[in-house]
Each structure stands twice: as structure tokens, then as C-alpha cells.
Structure 1
């Protein structure tokens, strides 16, 4: 296997190979993606202990991906730390572990404020601007933008559908009401985009919808929590968002920030494409007035998408 010289390339390769690895090598793959700083800085013995594998297995893992040994692979993980003033993943964990476990509501608030601040800093450091540009271009070019998520991830999908609709886009929230998720998703075709949001343990309904859409040639934009998630291999562009948590209750702050960024980015692109005209709802989604301009949010009835599949003319 050809060795990779950058962390992003190696991460993508580990993700694509994950399902083919042996049990022990999968353990290392999951540890490497979740704890890249430890992979960069710790010794083979310490990493092996924390990943619950023998040091020799780490060497075998490195050779599987084309490196001469573990130290050779570790150099790629260390390159990720160059020019980074802070390790944001570690800041999130430290914010969660700092002090006594909060019991009072005010303490819980303080915990989440601090942890979410670290999560937002991590988001800014880790999301490549080029990927944001690709995502906005996909949304701009799509005839219909479908959005799918379940359970904890659903509020992000609901916001995206809301924001896209207020930009005058044909947004279709695949909510699966009445068990009709598959039928709703069949509205999308090869000229459309599906935004899929899913976090561990990854809702089967979302994964099934994404897999079926990808088979039909629908482009996929994924928002998830890990490079080893089932979504990135199917996506044209994928964002991995690390959230703050308390007792297993995870925040949505960073994911919602990314969603808002995509909507505003699209609004700016649409406005730039029409000199002298503002994209519908780009500045005030709630119908707020701008000076004496009483412009309301566009509601083009002729472009409204129903919940049932229909043929394009």
C-alpha cells in the first residue's frame, strides 16, 4: 500500500480501509482517528497500552499502510501539530474533566459554556475553508437540497431546511413521518444534493437513506463526528465535528455553528451572483426589516416541494 505524506491523506486512507482491517488493527485505527495528538507525541508502549494492543501490533499497523515502522508513521501525525498553538481536542477533554463534576444547574451551564467554546475553536482549526467552498457550491448547484437526520441530529437538519427555504432554495426535509422516509428521499435525483447529519451510534434510517440516494447518483454532503463514520466514504464532502459533552449528553453548538455557516455562505454566494440584489432572507430569516425596506421572505408557491415524489418536467 502506498504511504501517505499528510495527515489528511492518511486519515482518509484509514477510514476507507477500516472495514477490511483485523480486530486489533481496527482498534488502532479508531484510536488513531480519535486521538491523533497522542499518536503524534506518545511512545509506542504508552499508545499500545491506551489503545489496548501490543506495541508490535502498532508496528504491524504502520507497515500495513506502507510505512517502514511506527516512527515513520508517527512523523505524519506530528506534522499535523505544526503551527498549531493549542491542541483543541485536549482542551475539550480538559474542560470536561476540570474540577468537581457539576451538579447545580449554574455549574452545568458554566461547564457547557467552557466546553462549547473549546469545541468552536476546534471547529475553526480543523475545518478546511476549501471544503466549505465545495459545500456551498454543491448547495448552489443543486436543483433540490434534501436534508436528513434522526434523533439528536434532527434539530440541525430542521435548521438547515429552514435556512435554505428562506434563501429561496427548494429544500426538502426528510423527516420520515409515517414511515415514509424512503418515499420522501426518492424525490431526489442525480441533479440534487442530500445533506446527511448523523452521529454515533448512527441512526440506521439515515444511513439507509444516504446509501439509497448515493446509488441513484445523488451528491452527498455529510456532517458527522468521526472519520470512521459510515458517511464520509459516500460523501462528496464531509465535515467531522467534535462536540462537548457531559455525562454522555452531547452539545450541538459546534454542529449548529457549521450549519449556520453553510447557510450564510450560500446566501452570500447567491447575492454575489445577482449584483444589486440581496438573496432572499440572507440577512434576516425572521422577516426583520432593513431600514425602510419591508422586503419579506420569499415564498415561491410554484417551487414548493411536497413530501411525495414527483417527476420533473
Structure 2
């Protein structure tokens, strides 16, 4: 282990992207405890930059000394050294998730009141912050690559279960209205994995899963990758089990794991992917490419 640590130390990155890439590269070889820390650090970069080691350890479910050993494993002198990389990211980038939440909470505080309305305001604040964060994390290159796959596939398979199911259903609706052949790998009936076995390299799989990842979705994604089926993944971090095999990876960081986790950001992203696909399918549109609706089709038939 000492030799491995020494080799890692020779490539200690000086920026956040390098840290995430190094952690991702080594993730499979880490202990279960270090993997838990790795997931927390990559999914909560703003918290890592702003909060104390004791607070972070409590949130991560570990001891502060474990955070120190984790940092040293990757060649840093200690956790402060590792944390400084996250702090540099905050200082050189636009305001992060936590800063946006604090600013928005302050702005809306005069409207808050006790009870349900206060909780409603808090949810709206987090949704706005998550959507703003999406602007910085989604690249035009990824949108274009995803649209190319979805527009060119024989069949688009979509896998999303648990809280990801409504996201998958929305994508199925949007792509169907674009006259794409779509198969929603619905878990009802217990045939999702069998249906997924019909995928070929001419198709594409869109897999959607956030922690705690739906096992069947992960299994379907791994099976698709083994058969060289292109994979577009929507998940929460580069350490997600969907990330390693993704041809196009969209990550939507979740600030915390609570009952009231919002779907605002992933729903917005899905609509953006569908719109990018529409643009690719309608290159000569006189106006902005659009996605028709079922209601419009019914109204046309009545005329």
C-alpha cells in the first residue's frame, strides 16, 4: 500500500477536476470506508470547501481522522491541503450551490412564515439553486452528443425506476412526440431486464439513477455496456455505478439525501436533451424546432 500511495503522491492534482479524476480512477481499489468518503466529497464539493472537518465527518458518517487518512492516501499532506483545492474551485467559479441557497433564503425570508408555507419556500429556494447549478455543469458538447445518439438510434430504450421513474416517463413522452421508436423499461411485470436483452448496437440506452441507485437500472446499464450498446447516463456523480460505462454522462449533484429531494433539475435537463434532439431532427425548421403534444394532434384531427 505504501508504494501505491507514493505513486499517487507523484501525481497530486492542483485543481478540483484533477482531484475528481484521480478519485474516480482509484475508486474501485479503495476500501469501503474510503469509497464512502469519495462519494461524499465528489457529490458535495461546496460543503467540502466551506465546512469544518468535524462537520464534514459527521455528514459523511465517519471520523475526522479518516478524512485525513483519505487525503494522505492521495498524496496530500492532510485534509486541509485537499480542502484547499475545493476552496480554490469556489473562489474561481461562479457562486456555488450553498452560496446560492443562502442568498435566495435571505431574499425570500421576508415572505416566509411558520408551517407548510415556510417549508414550501425552502423547497423553492433549493430548486432555484439546483437549476442555476445546472447551468455550470452541463456542456453543449454533451447535449449535442446525446442528441446525436437519440436522433440516430433505431430504438431508444429508457431505464429509470424509483424516484427516477417520472423522469424516464417524461423522456419517453417527448421522444415519442418526435416520432422516435421508444421502449420504456418499466419494472412492472418483471420483464425489464428481458426487454433490455433485445437492445443492439444500433440502439441507445438512457439510464437514470440517483443514490440509492436502483439495482435493476444498474444491471441493465452494465448489460448494455457489455454488448457495446451506447449509453447516455443521468446520475449524481462520476462515482455512480452508471458513470463508468457511459458514452455521455450528465451529473446532477444532490446537496443532501432527504425525502423532499427535488426533480426540478433532472426534469429540466431531460427537456433540454429532448429539445437538442428536436433540433437535430428538424435542421431545416423555419422557426425554432419544437416538440408537438398529444393535445395538438387531437385538435388537428377535429378540424
Structure 2 length-normalised TM: 0.79
**Root mean square deviation of aligned Cα:** 3.5
The one of 158, 165, 171 equivalent to 1:160 is: 171
Residue-by-residue CA offset, 1:121-173 (whole Å, 9 max, x unaligned):
11112223332222222223322211011121111101111111111222111
Go from structure 1 to structure 2 and tell me whether the alpha carbon gap of 1:277 and 1:86 turns closer, same or farther (over 3 Å shift).
Answer: closer
Show structure 2 runs of 5+ residues with no match.
1-7
Go from structure 1 to structure 2 and tell me whether the alpha carbon gap of 1:60 and 1:108 turns closer, same or farther (over 3 Å shift).
Answer: closer
| Residue 258 of structure 1 pairs with residue 269 of structure 2 | yes
The equivalent residue for 1:216 is: 227
Show structure 1 runs of 5+ residues with no match.
297-313
Residue-by-residue CA offset, 1:214-254 (whole Å, 9 max, x unaligned):
11111111111233321111211222224588962222111
| Residue 3 of structure 1 pairs with residue 34 of structure 2 | no
| Residue 26 of structure 1 pairs with residue 35 of structure 2 | yes
Distance 1:203 1:96 in 2: 33
The equivalent residue for 1:307 is: none
Distance 2:51 2:254 in 1: 24
Distance 1:219 1:226 in 2: 19
Higher helix share: 2
Indicate conservation of the 8 Å contact 1:143/1:191, yes or no.
yes
| Residue 129 of structure 1 pairs with residue 140 of structure 2 | yes
Pairs within 5 Å for 1:130-279:
130-242=141-253, 248-272=259-283, 275-276=284-285
Structure 1 length-normalised TM: 0.77
Distance 1:200 1:50 in 2: 15
The one of 37, 60, 63 equivalent to 1:53 is: 63
Indicate conservation of the 8 Å contact 2:178/2:291, yes or no.
no
Residue-by-residue CA offset, 1:242-289 (whole Å, 9 max, x unaligned):
4588962222111100000000011012212xx35789x834324538
The equivalent residue for 2:290 is: 282
Q: What's the CA shift for 1:86?
A: 1.7
Go from structure 1 to structure 2 and tell me whether the alpha carbon gap of 1:101 and 1:22 turns closer, same or farther (over 3 Å shift).
Answer: farther
